[in-house]
Amino acid sequence: MPAKTRVSTGRVLANIGVAARLAWAAAPGWSAALAGFAVLTAALPVAVAWSTRMVVDALGGHGDRAGVLGAALLLAGLSLAGAVLPHLENYVTADFGRRVGITVKLRLYHAVNRMVGLRRLESPAYHDQLQLALQGGLNGPEHGVLCGLRVASGALQIGGFAGSLYLLNPWLVLVVLLGSVPTLLAELAINRRRAALTADITPAMRREMFYAGLLTGLPAAKEVRLFGLGDYLTGRMLTELRSINARSRRLDQRQTVVQSGLMLLSALVAGAVLVWAVRSAQRGEMTVGDVVLTLGAVAGVQGGVASLTGAVGETYQSMLVFDGFRRIEEAPSDLPVPEVVAAPTGGVPVPRTPETGGAVVECPAPVDPAVVLAAATPAIELRDVWFRYDDAHPWVLSGVNLTIPAGESVGLVGLNGAGKSTLVKLLCRFYDPTRGGIYWNGTDIRTLPVEQLRARIAAVFQDFFAYELSAAENIGVGAIAAVDDRSRIAAAARKAGCHETLAALPAGYDTLLTRTFFSNEDRDDPETGVLLSGGQWQRLALARALMRPDCGLLILDEPSSGLDATAEYAVHAKLRQLRVGRTSLLISHRLSTMRDASLIYVLDDGRIVEYGDHDELMARDGRYAELFSLQARGYGPVPV
Ligand SMILES: Nc1ncnc2c1ncn2[C@@H]1O[C@H](COP(=O)(O)OP(=O)(O)OP(=O)(O)O)[C@@H](O)[C@H]1O
């Protein structure tokens, strides 16, 4: 999804409706209050101009002398209202913004979570779109509504003052309004450019934030310091920042020139009207009050036009940016929704996908997904699976046929980049195969509800995540419904061999596994958070997976890569017990851990080149035997 997409004027107008509905849903009371403020803001200056005229004329011997006190009191009251109103409005606007912010974030993250696969999240264009959506979503409804109200208020103010001018001399209205047309057009052009600039600089802003994150974050801190990367990264960050600033500066300069010209035009019009009014008064055609009212009305119309054009321009710009929010909300799920295609000849319906174009894959009788997924030990099959990350990338898997028999433990080995982790991602349905299919007890997984499918899988990913949460939560998130179930968490930790470590932490399982989120008071207290070692984290990740003891498929992608020899031995002994009678897939470069797998597949450059149990593969003396012997040789005597 490209970040820069041309938005039609019709769509911009439709966005105003969407933003207004969002604002109303988020804060109906404050939306109504802001509308009220808009009317008052427009009416106040007109009322002030008229009551000033009454006072001036009454003092100058024209008009109603008896009413002078009333007019003066009215003027004082209006001034008071004028002083208080902006503060009230500021408060309401700020709270309105906060309420809208909650609704926007809720809707935005809901839309992102609807992306059940990983493809969109890997796309830089999607991240730019997200960045714009967050910005446009947060500002859009607020700006849209506030600027919309400013447009209404500006129009009311112009109407009020233009009406006043009309009563004095109809030609004045024409002169003043015609003088305002260039302002409106220029403002619209500037705001379109500003919206385009926002989209243009988003990738540079993302890169700038990336470099800033490297410079200030803990994850890269060791390498940044050891390799002395500080200046290098700062330089790259500054390059991005300078390019952002240069583009913003150019637009600011253009805006300054245009706006100065327009102000000059307004001043000329106001000056001409002033001269005309003074001459009229000299000729006795106008009272002093009329002159004051004329000048006030011209300034009022010009101010109203400036405010209206500014607001129209800003609304336009914010609605262009708000479009990013709408696009994220409207984007369909990145994996095909099971829009089921009827099977013509007894095949099970499979969802229409971009890859299959709605083709029907033949497989045994149709079955209820709940029944399929309920099987305690399902058989998993990959049938002629082809996969590449996108059309520009080479094939990662090329016609893989692989079966994990029900209740059996299968091993998968292969060199770096062979496609093992990719295969795991397909099993979890983070992507769909480009061709072929994956079957859970004979049913294509694309026909199964994805959340229910994933609920039946427990996995330790090679790049598992270390949450900056408490130790208990880090394990509990493996089965979120049981995140508070301490006995289950402790049982999983025992199985993974990390219970003693966690129990010995300063606050036991409640210890935060981060040093990032401390309040100022306890920042220096080492007992408020700890950092675990890589191997300890790995055990935690294993415990997280073991929170799903009844899963149908257990996937272990390099579950012991960070463990010391004793720990690795202990963890694999434990895993061996856990895998008995369970459908499981173990991926490891340490081939000794594969010996007890009932079936081992060797993946080479996206193809299965061998399979069998350890003894069969060794007897075959092929790729597996070669890798195994190489590793074994590493433990033998040092060659001389
Ligand atoms: N998100 C991605 N987008 C594009 N290409 C990818 C992506 N993830 C992996 N690849 C590519 O797919 C190929 C297989 O990667 P994969 O991680 O599946 O290999 P692996 O067998 O697990 O390797 P290792 O043993 O090093 O973990 C590699 O060439 C890799 O560059």
Average pLDDT over residues 201-207: 85
* 391, 421, 627, best to mutate for ligand 1 pocket (most atoms within 8 Å of CB): 421
Helices then strands, counting H and E runs in the chain, come out as 19, 10
Distance from the alpha carbon of residue 387 to the mean position of ligand 1, in angstroms: 11
CB 116 within 8 A of CB 198: no
Q: What is the mean pLDDT of residues 385-389?
A: 95
124 C-alpha to ligand 1 centroid (Å): 18
User: How large is the average pLDDT for residues 610-634?
Assistant: 90
* pLDDT over 70 (residue 190): yes
pLDDT at residue 361 tops 50? no
Q: What percent of the chain has pLDDT over 70?
A: 90
* Spatial distance between the Cα atoms of 404 and 19, rounded to a whole number of angstroms: 51
What residues contact 609, with CB distance under 8 A and at least 6 apart? 602, 603, 622, 623
List pLDDT tens digits, range 504-532: 998 899 998 876 655 555 555 555 678 88
Q: What is the pLDDT of residue 430?
A: 94
What pTM was estimated for this model as a whole?
Answer: 0.74
Residue 351 has pLDDT above 50, yes or no: no
Candidate from 373-377, 425-429, 470-474, 476-480 with smallest mean pLDDT: 373-377
Whether 9-330 and 466-550 share one fold: the answer is no
Is the per-residue pLDDT at 310 higher than 90?
no
Identify the pLDDT of residue 62: 62
Residue 409 pairs with which residues in a beta bridge?
584
Q: Homologous superfamily of 9-330 in CATH?
A: ABC transporter type 1, transmembrane domain (1.20.1560.10)
Q: How far is the CA of 390 from the centre of ligand 1 (A)?
A: 13
The predicted structure's pLDDT at residue 53:
80
Lowest-confidence pick of 336-340, 435-439, 618-622: 336-340
Q: Which residue has the higher pLDDT, 190 or 239?
A: 239
* Secondary structure of 406-448 as H, E, C letters: CCCEEEEECCCCCCHHHHHHHHCCCCCCCEEEEEECCEEHHHC
Instruction: Write down the pLDDT at residue 340.
Output: 43
pLDDT of 532 reads: 86
Give the Å distance between the CA of 423 and the centre of ligand 1: 9
The string of pLDDT tens digits covering residues 147-156 is 777 777 778 8
Task: State the ipTM, two decimals.
Answer: 0.98
AA identity, residue 468: E
- In whole angstroms, give the CA distance from residue 351 to residue 360: 8
The domain 369-456+552-635 having CATH identifier 3.40.50.300: the answer here is: yes
Q: In what order do the strands lie in the sheet with 435-440?
A: 397-404, 380-387, 435-440, 443-444
Return the pLDDT at 322: 85
The answer to whether the CB of 426 falls within 8 A of the CB of 525 is: no
- pLDDT, position 343: 39
**Domain definitions of the chain by residue range:** 9-330, 369-456+552-635, 466-550
The Cα 261–Cα 560 span in angstroms is: 70
In this prediction, residue 562 carries a pLDDT of 72
C-alpha 49: how far from its chain's center?
49
Pocket test for ligand 1, best of 420, 460, 589, 590 (most atoms within 8 A of CB): 420
The percentage of residues in the chain with a pLDDT greater than 90, rounded to a whole number, is 32
pLDDT attached to residue 501: 93
The confidence score (pLDDT) of residue 71 equals 78
Ligand 1 is surrounded, with C-beta below 6 A, by: 122, 389, 393, 396, 414, 416-422, 462
Residue nearest to atom 6 of ligand 1 (CA): 389
Measured between alpha carbons, how far is 583 from 423 in angstroms, rounded to an integer?
16
Find the mean pLDDT for residues 432-445: 94
Give the pLDDT score at 637: 67
Distance of CA 417 from the midpoint of ligand 1 (Å): 5
The 3-state secondary structure of 565-598, one letter per residue: HHHHHHHHHHHHHHHCCCCEEEECCCHHHHCCCC
Could you tell me the pLDDT band of residue 5, with boundaries at 50, 70 and 90? low
Q: Are strands 443-444 and 397-404 parallel, antiparallel or unpaired?
A: unpaired
pLDDT of res. 515: 64
Q: How far is the CA of 419 from the centre of ligand 1 (A)?
A: 6
Copy the structure tokens of residue 97.
């913004």
49 pLDDT higher than 90: no
Please tell me the predicted confidence (pLDDT) of residue 158. Answer: 82
Residues 6+ apart with CB under 8 A from 216: none
Average per-residue pLDDT in the chain?
Answer: 83
Architecture, CATH, for domain 466-550: 3-Layer(aba) Sandwich (3.40)
pLDDT at 519: 52
Long-range contacts of 52-59 (CB under 8 A, 24+ apart): 52/289, 52/292, 52/293, 52/296, 53/289, 53/290, 53/292, 53/293, 53/296, 54/289, 56/288, 56/289, 56/292, 57/287, 57/288, 57/289
d(CA 555, CA 410) in angstroms, rounded, equals 10
Closest to 582 (Cα-Cα) out of 545, 546, 551: 551
Q: Whose C-alpha lies nearest to ligand 1, atom 24?
A: 416
Q: Of 448, 436, 362, which is closest to residue 396 (Cα–Cα)?
A: 436
Question: Which DSSP string corresponds to 441-484?
Answer: TTEEGGGS-HHHHHHTEEEE-TT----SSBHHHHHHGGGGGGTT
Residue 360 has a pLDDT of: 43
Q: Is the pLDDT of residue 359 over 80?
A: no
| pLDDT tens readout for residues 543-583 | 999 999 889 999 999 888 777 888 788 888 888 888 888 99
pLDDT at 526: 53
- Whether residue 91 has pLDDT greater than 60: yes
Q: Do residues 82 and 48 lie in contact, with contact meaning Cβ atoms separated by under 8 Å? A: yes
Tell me what the mean pLDDT of segment 210-219 comes to: 86
Tens of pLDDT, residues 601-616: 999 999 999 999 999 9
Q: Which residues 6+ apart lie within 8 Å of 187 measured at CB?
A: 309, 310, 312, 313
Token pair 């009563």 is found at 167
The full 3-state SS of 258-291, as one line of letters, equals HHHHHHHHHHHHHHHHHHHHHHHHHCCCCCHHHH
Closest residue by CA, ligand 1 atom 17? 421
Cβ partners under 8 Å of residue 25, min gap 6:
103
